[in-house]
Amino acid sequence: ILNVEQSPQSLHVQEGDSTNFTCSFPSSNFYALHWYRWETAKSPEALFVMTLNGDEKKKGRISATLNTKEGYSYLYIKGSQPEDSATYLCASRQGDSGGGADGLTFGKGTHLIIQP
Amino acid sequence: DAGVTQSPTHLIKTRGQQVTLRCSPKSGHDTVSWYQQALGQGPQFIFQYYEEEERQRGNFPDRFSGHQFPNYSSELNVNALLLGDSALYLCASSLGLHIAGQPQHFGDGTRLSIL
């Protein structure tokens, strides 16, 4: 059974501050690492999909890094705004024996609250 | 451009009954995955459909079955419902079965409550 772990479980951050959180995943048979943002009463929204060791992706004030050898990814938010309040989910995808890949294995998420 | 749509939004069933949930993928997508999210947990992968066949399956019993139609829409069926099946069921679509860099696009989910 694969384990994808996210920390911290929840985080309160002052508006304007920067923050980061962690996703750890199995490094064996790595295929892809996904990050999603899930706001209350909405559907999960894809932020990044990373496939190569050392990948860095950026979308506005949000960025992510990937280390497939040690099995971790960081998500960074610069200058937090109230609209950044959401649950941030990471999900790992592992390769299967047939050259394809398994479905996504999600962590439990980091619940981020930005305080004005 | 319609995104992923799921129906119904909410559903209440009793133990032992059967339920069918429906999903229409985002326009242009051909792969559909289903997830179950129980309270306090991350979404758990149930199965994935591509070209009308189940291609991958997570750790769920045979009571969970599915179908994909020629127009790429999909159904999730659950038989002999248990109290533990109460959860949010999410459908996600993507393009291509094994394209590593493709994100999944999620619907709003169906909230299933078992009494």
* Average pLDDT value for chain B: 95
Label residues A13-49 b or e (16+ Cβ within 10 Å = b): beeeeebebebbbeeeebbbbbbbbbeeeebbebbbb
pLDDT at B88: 98
Of B42, B90, B101, the CB nearest to A108: B42
Of B45, B98, B106, the CB nearest to A44: B106
Q: Is B97 exposed, middle or buried (0-12, 13-18, 19+ CB in 10 A)?
A: middle
Phi–psi pair at A81, nearest 5 degrees: -120, 155
Q: How far apart are CA B67 and CA B48, in angstroms?
A: 10
Tell me which of A56 and A96 has the higher pLDDT: A56
Q: Which residues of B touch A (CB under 8 A)?
A: 3-4, 33, 35, 40-45, 47-48, 55-56, 58-59, 90, 97-98, 100-109
Query: How confident is the model over B35-63, as a mean pLDDT?
Result: 95
Interchain contact, A42 vs B108, CB within 8 Å: yes
User: Which chain A residues have a beta carbon less than 8 Å from that of B88?
Assistant: none
Percent with pLDDT over 70 in chain B: 99
